[in-house]
Each structure stands twice: as structure tokens, then as C-alpha cells.
Structure 1
Amino acid sequence: MRRPVVLLTFLLGALLVAEADAQKTLSLTEALALAKKQNPEILIARKQVEAARGGVVEARSAYLPSVVSSGLLRKRERQESSRLRDDDYNASLRVVQNVYTAGANKGRLAIARLTEEKRALQVSAVERGVAMDVRIAYYDLLLHRARIEVQEQAVGVMRDELKAEQERFAAGTVGELNVRRAEVSLANEEPELFEAQTRMQNSYLRINELCGILSSTRSSAQTFQPVGSLQYHPRRPDLAECLARAATLRPEIKARQIDVAIEDEQLIVDRSELRPRVEVFTGYEVY
């Protein structure tokens, strides 16, 4: 008797878990936060910022003394006896400090800092682009869900109409043409429903991709339920104002301006190769 009770309890628990998973919702705000946290493009852009910070540390190291070491070890093979050593070795250790580099170190440090700033702007640009894509995909999902509801109602009406015509034809009140007309109407309406369902599935796949949610091809991509409905808010943007805001606020434009500054600093670094450099060093050599 205990065994059926345990089995029934297990089945009820599994049904509750499945129902909870099926009722999982995801609002637009939650989707935006999830995409900002897990989107692959954003993660790659953030890693590039970390790499740029490492470039700044590397450029700063040029102002510090550097340690240079070298060594040599050779063994001689002779057929006759000699007073020379069998082993020939040489080891040196030097500490080198740059005194004058014709602006090369300063230019490299400026390039590294500008690159770090550029990477930060690129992260902002990627985040904005992903947020826009998430909004579009989420609104498409709401639109296709509403279309499915409308198409399901239309298909239901067509099926009821076909059933009614079949009953009238069986009763002899209408001809076969009425039944065929109802079948054609239903056949024309069903592809619209299938297309809306396919578009909704594609919208789920797009949101999963943007939010970094893994979706298997064997299972449905519908891992959540969208919240809310489409609402229209009329807006009349001014073209001149939009262009002015884009010129001052778009991170892509600022990143291109930084590219120009990087090229100017790189010109200084390239010119430094034609000028003399001054270094001081001290060291120890054994031979």
C-alpha cells in the first residue's frame, strides 16, 4: 500500500515542477538585464576592456628599469691536450634604464590609454545595440503571440462553419458546394496560423540567443512566457535634434575620434625610430 502512495506523491511533485516551469515568465526588464549579463558579444567586449587595461600596464613598464640577461655554454672536443678550458661559458646580467626615447614611451602610453577608453566606448555601443535587439525581438514575440490568438479564433470559427455545413449537407438543406467552400476557407486560414506559430518560435530563438539562454534543437525554444502586450505610443521626433544628439552621445562616433588620436600618437612613435636614444645601464659579466 505504501508503494502506490509514494509513486502518487512523486507524480504529483513532478507535475507541480513541470507546471512551475511552464508558468515561468520573463518581462522585458528582466530580459534586458539577462542579456546585459550573459550576452556573448557583451562578454567579449568586456574582455577586450580587460586586455586594454593590461596594455596600459605594459606601456607604463617602459618607464621602469629592465633586467636583461644572456648566457653561453660550449664544450670543446679536442684530440690533443691543451691549456684551454674544456668548457667555454659566458653569462651577463644588466639593468637598463631609458633616459631619452624621443617620445616613444610617452606615445605608447597615450595609445594604450586611448585604446582602453575606446574599448569602454565599444562596450557601451554593444550594450545599446543588444538592448535594442532584445526590445525588437520581445515586441515581435508579443506581436506573434497576439496573431496566434487571432488566427486560432479564426480557424476555430472556420471549423465550426465547416461542421455546420456538413450537418446541413447531411440533412439535405444545402448542396455539396457549400461544404467545399467551407473546406477551402479553412484550408486558406490554417497556413496563417502555422506561419504565426513559426514566427513566434523564431522570436523565442532570437531572444534566447541575445540573452545567452541555451536552447536545444530537440526541445522547444519556448523556455518562458512573455509578460504584457503591445502598446502604441505616438512619437514625432525632430530630425535635427536626433542628429545633434547622435553626434554628441553615440559611442561609435567618439570611438572613431579616438582612432584619429591614436594615429596621431602612433606617428610620434614612428618618428622616434629615426632619432637617437639614451640609455644607462649597469651590470655584471662572468666569462
Structure 2
Amino acid sequence: MIFRQVLRQSMVAFTGLLISVGSTTAQDRQHQQPTQPAGQTLTLDQCLQIALERNPQILIAEGQVEVAQAQTYGSYTGILPTINASVINANRTTSGDRDQILEGIVIRQVPGGTRTNYFNNIALNYTLYNGGQNWNSIRRNKQLEVNSKHNVSNAENQIASNVKMQYYNLLRAIRLKEVTDEQVKLSEEQLRRSQSMYEIGSVAKIDVLQARAQLGQVRITLLNQQKAVTQTKANLNNVMGVDVHTPINPVDPIAGNTLAMMSPMSLQEATSLAFQQNPSIQRDTGGIQAANLQTKQARGGLWPTVTAGMTYSRNGVALRDVYGNYGNNWNLGLNISVRLPILNGTQTYANIQSSHAQRMIAEETLNQTKRTTLLSIRQSLLDLETSILVTELSNENIVASEEGLRLAEERYRVGSGTLLDVFNAQVTLAGAKSNLVIAQYDYLIAQATLDQALGRK
């Protein structure tokens, strides 16, 4: 009996221990569950590095360089000799009996038989001259390889500019959201003030309703700003070549709402730098050189082609005659030929005409690239100058708007002003702060656009 009681108590204690351990383990597992990753803080340089490593446009451009290098390597075939070897050729011929006829008279019958011949050879051929087609092909492919490298630099330049613009767009959206947050707080405070004044009979109920409507309108603006922040984050992630839902927190280069702004360079200086450094201009300039080489290559088809060759062969009726007795059963042949293209249809002249058209296209492409670059420089310099002026005016407007809001609130409090005056003052202050934010980041975006035109990453 006592033994049963002890056993029962032991089982209860053991069961309680298992429940306790299980509960503790479950709690530990809950604590070990991975948390949702917080937004990653990235500087502009870090975003640029990620984009240069992962953006598909750059990867495609780098792949095109590899293709151009392979084509350059393959073009050397034209200036190298070709060597071909036939290891073994066997020919077995069987014939029947036949009459041997002399002057229409059968003189005897030749019995049929079977004959086996073995043959091998090695041949070397080399093109001595073909109007420079082979050498111009090499030069053209080398130029195309250089152009493809300029295209990589151009892709990197464009991606860097896009990353900068999206990065600054994100910072601008965040700052504008902060301005709207301040406006929401002002509207909430004004609603509380109007409610208090209404309760003591200082203002009519319409002031409370207007304050509530104003707060609702500002909250709608805040929702739109929050949406803008989310969208610009997705745009930045897309340019960097990462998942658009990746959380990211940018580092604002504008400290304390102040941004050091320098006077932009002159148009002449910027244009000179762009024509020297812009990779798209360098690429399109190389396109003209490649078109010139294509014309020379096409004209080479009008010149004679001189080739030379040497052939060594062995033959016999048995394998030992071919792979033995090397002093016998061999032939050595040397040849040189000169071929003059008198008529080969219209292909040569079509190639020449096509190369002229390619040169015209390359020249117009370069001119258009220069015009586009010059337009971008003009617009960027104008945006820089405008942003500097707007920033100065916005700082002055903020000071005046803050004082205007203070006076409007005081006049409303003492009953000499209207609620509409307060609303207008709040809107004016928010507009001045928004204009400052927009001008500051317009300056940074204009600088990024100018850097792209100048070929600076």
C-alpha cells in the first residue's frame, strides 16, 4: 500500500516536471524565433557599390565586352595559316572483265579485279594578300572591343546617376513627410485649442468643425507622403538590382537642414569636360572609327587575292606504303595563286554602300549624343542656379512664416483674428519648409545629372 502511494506520488511529480520542461522549451523556442529584420542603413556610396555589382544593365554590358573580345580573338584567323591533315583515306575499287579495243578491234579481254589504294596528306595554306580585309577586320574588332568597354563605363555612369537621383528622391520624400508630420501636430494643437475655446464660449462651433476638417486634410496629405516614401524606396532598390521590398534607411547628407552649395561651373568649361570624359561620346566617336574600318574592309573586296600553299602526301596499295618506306611513295606540291574579282554579283558594292551608310549613322549618332549631353549640361546648370536662389528665399520665407503663424495664433486667441488666418499661416509655413526641402534635393539631383553628363561617377 505504501509502495503504491510512493509510486503514485512519483508519477505525479515526474508528469509535472515534464510539463514544466515542455513549457520552458516552448518559451525558449518562442524567444528563438527570428525577428523581422529592421531597415538597413545604407550610405550613398554603399548603394552605388551594390548597384555597380548587381544591376543587370552593367552585367549585360560586361557580357558584351566578353563577346567583343571573343570576336577580336577570332578575327586573327584571317592572318594565320591553315593546316589540315588527312590521317588516312582508303579506296577499294572492284571491276569486272572488259575488252581491250584497238582501232575498233577487240584484241584481248582484260580480267577484272580488286584494287585498294591508301592515301594521306598534310596541307598548309596562307593568304598573302586580300586587299587588307583581314587586317582591317582585326582593327575593326579591336575598335568594337574598345567601344564595348566605353559602353560599360556609360552603363556604370547612368546607373550611378540613377542611384543618386533615387537616393535623393527618397530623402526628399522622407523630409517632406517630416514637414507634413509637423503640420499634423500643428493642426492637432489647433483643434484642441479651438475645442477649449468653444467650451468656454469664446468661439463658435464652426471653428471646431473647420479645425477638424483641416486636420483631416493634412492627414490625407501625410498618407500620400507615406506612400511616396514607400514607392521611392522600391525605386531605389530596383535601380540597385535588389528586391524592391528590401527595407532600407538612407543617410541624409544634409545636416541640420543646411546644405553647402557652390556656384556651378561655366557652360564652356562643363562642355569641354563632357566632350573629353563622357563615355557615351567616347563610345560613339569610336563607332565612327569602326565604320571607317568597315569601309576599308569592304573596299578590299575589289583587290586581288594572293594565296600560297604547300601539300605533302603519301599513297600506296598497302598501309605499309603510307606509314612505312618514308623514302618512297610521297609527293610534295607547292602552289601560289592570284585571283582577281572581275564579277561576283553585287555583293562587294553592296558591302561598300552599307559601310558608307553605317558611317553616316555613326556620325549622326555622335552628333545626337553631343546635343543631348549639351542639353543636359545646360539644364543641370540652370537647375543648380535656381536651387541656390530658391534655397536662400525659402530660408527667409520660413523665418517670416514662423513669425506670421505666431501672430495669427495670438490674434485668434485674443479674438482679433480668424481661424482662417491661422490655417493660412500654417499652410504658408508648411509650403516654405517644403520649398526648402525640394530646392535642396533639386540641387543634389542637378549635381548628379551634371556629373553624369561630365562622365563623373
TM-score bracket for the superposition, by shorter chain length = 0.7 to 0.9
Find out whether 1:192 has 2:221 as its counterpart.
yes
> Residues 139 and 108 of structure 1: is their aligned pair in 2 closer, same or farther, counting only changes over 3 Å?
same
> Residues 183 and 84 of structure 1: is their aligned pair in 2 closer, same or farther, counting only changes over 3 Å?
farther
> Residues 120 and 202 of structure 1: is their aligned pair in 2 closer, same or farther, counting only changes over 3 Å?
same
CA contact (8 A) 2:39 2:247 kept: no
SS of alignment partner, residue 96 of structure 1: strand
Spell out, residue by residue over 1:124-157, the C-alpha distance to the aligned partner (whole angstroms, 9 max, x if none).
1111111111111111111111111221232233
CA displacement at 1:13 relative to structure 2: 3.4
SS of alignment partner, residue 99 of structure 1: strand
Find out whether 1:176 has 2:200 as its counterpart.
no
2:267 to 239, 243, 261: 239
Moved more, 200-209 or 58-67: 58-67
Q: Which amino acid in the other structure matches residue 137 of structure 1?
A: Q
Counterpart in the other structure of 2:249 = 225
CA contact (8 A) 2:69 2:145 kept: yes
> Residues 161 and 9 of structure 1: is their aligned pair in 2 closer, same or farther, counting only changes over 3 Å?
farther
CA displacement at 1:52 relative to structure 2: 0.6
- What pairs with 1:93-108 in structure 2 (closer than 5 Å)? 95-108=124-137
CA displacement at 1:207 relative to structure 2: 1.0
Q: Tell me, in whole angstroms, the C-alpha distance in 2 between the residues paired with 1:123 and 1:84.
A: 71
Q: Tell me, in whole angstroms, the C-alpha distance in 1 between the residues paired with 2:54 and 2:113.
A: 68
Find out whether 1:258 has 2:282 as its counterpart.
no
Find out whether 1:40 has 2:69 as its counterpart.
no
Q: Tell me, in whole angstroms, the C-alpha distance in 2 between the residues paired with 1:84 and 1:171.
A: 135
Q: Tell me, in whole angstroms, the C-alpha distance in 2 between the residues paired with 1:84 and 1:259.
A: 67
CA RMSD of aligned residues (A): 3.6
Q: Tell me, in whole angstroms, the C-alpha distance in 2 between the residues paired with 1:211 and 1:92.
A: 60
Q: Which amino acid in the other structure matches residue 276 of structure 1?
A: P
Q: Tell me, in whole angstroms, the C-alpha distance in 2 between the residues paired with 1:269 and 1:69.
A: 31
Spell out, residue by residue over 1:94-125, the C-alpha distance to the aligned partner (whole angstroms, 9 max, x if none).
54322212100000000110001001111111
Find out whether 1:4 has 2:33 as its counterpart.
no
Q: Tell me, in whole angstroms, the C-alpha distance in 2 between the residues paired with 1:149 and 1:222.
A: 22
CA displacement at 1:159 relative to structure 2: 3.0
Q: Tell me, in whole angstroms, the C-alpha distance in 2 between the residues paired with 1:262 and 1:84.
A: 64
Counterpart in the other structure of 2:47 = 31
Higher Rg: 2
Counterpart in the other structure of 1:137 = 166
> Residues 161 and 285 of structure 1: is their aligned pair in 2 closer, same or farther, counting only changes over 3 Å?
farther
Q: Tell me, in whole angstroms, the C-alpha distance in 2 between the residues paired with 1:201 and 1:84.
A: 92
> Residues 98 and 22 of structure 1: is their aligned pair in 2 closer, same or farther, counting only changes over 3 Å?
same
- What pairs with 1:94-173 in structure 2 (closer than 5 Å)? 95-166=124-195, 169=198
Q: Which amino acid in the other structure matches residue 214 of structure 1?
A: D
CA displacement at 1:6 relative to structure 2: 2.8
Q: Which amino acid in the other structure matches residue 6 of structure 1?
A: T
Q: Which amino acid in the other structure matches residue 28 of structure 1?
A: L
Q: Which amino acid in the other structure matches residue 5 of structure 1?
A: T
> Residues 232 and 272 of structure 1: is their aligned pair in 2 closer, same or farther, counting only changes over 3 Å?
same
- What pairs with 1:49-128 in structure 2 (closer than 5 Å)? 49-66=65-82, 95-128=124-157
- TM-score, normalising length: structure 2: 0.53
Q: Which amino acid in the other structure matches residue 30 of structure 1?
A: Q
1:13 to 32, 40, 49: 32
The percent identity for this pair of structures is 22
Counterpart in the other structure of 2:401 = none
Q: Tell me, in whole angstroms, the C-alpha distance in 1 between the residues paired with 2:172 and 2:314.
A: 78
SS of alignment partner, residue 303 of structure 2: coil
The structure, 1 or 2, with the larger RCO (C-alpha pairs under 8 Å, 6+ apart) is 1
What count of residue pairs does the alignment treat as equivalent? 276
Q: Tell me, in whole angstroms, the C-alpha distance in 2 between the residues paired with 1:55 and 1:276.
A: 25
Task: Extract unaligned runs of 5+ from structure 1.
Answer: 71-80, 86-90, 216-220
